[in-house]
Amino acid sequence: MSAAGLLSFLKSKESLIFNGLVALLTIGGQQLFSFFAFSCPCQVAKNLYYGLAFIGVPALILLIVGYVFNDHTWRLLTGPSHTSAPLESSQRSRLMKSKLMCFVFCNITGRALVAPITWLAVTLLNGSYYVCALSEFASVEQYDAFRNVSRAERREILTTFPCPQFTRPNFTRAREGVLLDLRYQSQVSGWLLIAIVAVTVFLSLCLARSLSPLSFLHLRYWTSYVNNEQTLFEQTADQHSRLYATQHIQKFFGFTPGSKDVKAIRIPSRWDWQTVSGLDLLTVIDDDHCHYSLLHAWADEDPPEGKHVAIEEEPPLDTPAPS
């Protein structure tokens, strides 16, 4: 396969590769997190909160991060809520728009769920967090060592099982059996989670493809078009914003970087410097225009030309310096 063919193949599988990288990074982070940060307290009630916190809180954070770092999230939130076009006012158009928004939201959620589900699955397969959280609730009626132990004392003993240094010698055998049972529950739950997610993703893809109005090749073409359009849009927007900013900088300083044969420069006044100094925030001027920065606002105010200083031509490099 040629390099161009390989790049084309990788680009067509961009979403799959991205999700795979996110999953691998999550697995690596979970292993490091478990090794360096996790230490079960082995105390009544604290085990449950500590274990569930390590299972649920990172997953929640990863879910939020998945939403935040997806550009489609902000496009969905900041997109136009209404339009004056007659077509958009029709019930059929509003229904189509609602379906499209639901589809985009489901796509965003699907990507955002990759990292937290990976975290939950790897955490359950590891078993350490689950053992810590539910050790005090384990069933131990089948062990002779617990027959003459009160319920309160039983919970205290069970909470020490994740920490072998705190376990009494006469409960060593019971501890091994309880830990094996809890790891069994955790790992089975992890595999069930993976199976449920895999089946759900497969069925969702089948449903989406079957309901899509586009054929397989047409869908690939549309995906390619959207990717190319986004790439070209970003390149053009970068060049457009550079040219637009150049006009404002030219007005403020009298020249721009890279200018040749600069004959004069503009000396900004104290008022000019005070006007453009500060935090650049987007300022809405009217329904159609905004100021993107303080310099932009200064340039649009059409200030006076100010003071200009002529620039003498620099002497050649080989001209000897005056003695």
| Average confidence score pLDDT of the chain | 83
> When comparing pLDDT for 247 and 91, which is higher?
247
One-letter-per-residue 3-state SS of the chain: CCHHHHHHHHHHCHHHHHHHHHHHHHHHHHHHHHHHCCCCCCCCCHHHHHHHHHHHHHHHHHHHHHHHCCHHHHHHHHCCCCCCCHHHHCHHHHHHHHHHHHHHHHHHHHHHCHHHHHHHHHHHHHCHHHHHHHHHHCCCCCCHHHCCCCHHHHHHHHHCCCCHHHCCHHHHHHHHHHHHHHHHHHHHHHHHHHHHHHHHHHHHHHHHHHHCCCCHHHHHHHHHHHHHHHHHHHHHHHHHHHHHHHHHHHHHHCCCCCCCCCCEEEECCHHHHHHHCCCCCCEECCCCCEECCHHHHHHHCCCCCCEEEECCCCCCCCCCCCC
- In this prediction, residue 28 has a pLDDT band, given cuts at 50, 70 and 90, of confident
Least confident window among 80-84, 209-213, 273-277: 80-84
Q: Give yes or no for residue 241 having a pLDDT over 80.
A: yes
> When comparing pLDDT for 107 and 322, which is higher?
107
Domain ranges of the chain: 14-79+91-220, 241-310
> When comparing pLDDT for 211 and 254, which is higher?
254
Q: Give yes or no for residue 97 having a pLDDT over 80.
A: no
Q: State the average pLDDT over residues 42-64.
A: 91
Q: State the average pLDDT over residues 18-47.
A: 81
Q: State the average pLDDT over residues 83-89.
A: 49
Q: State the average pLDDT over residues 85-113.
A: 74
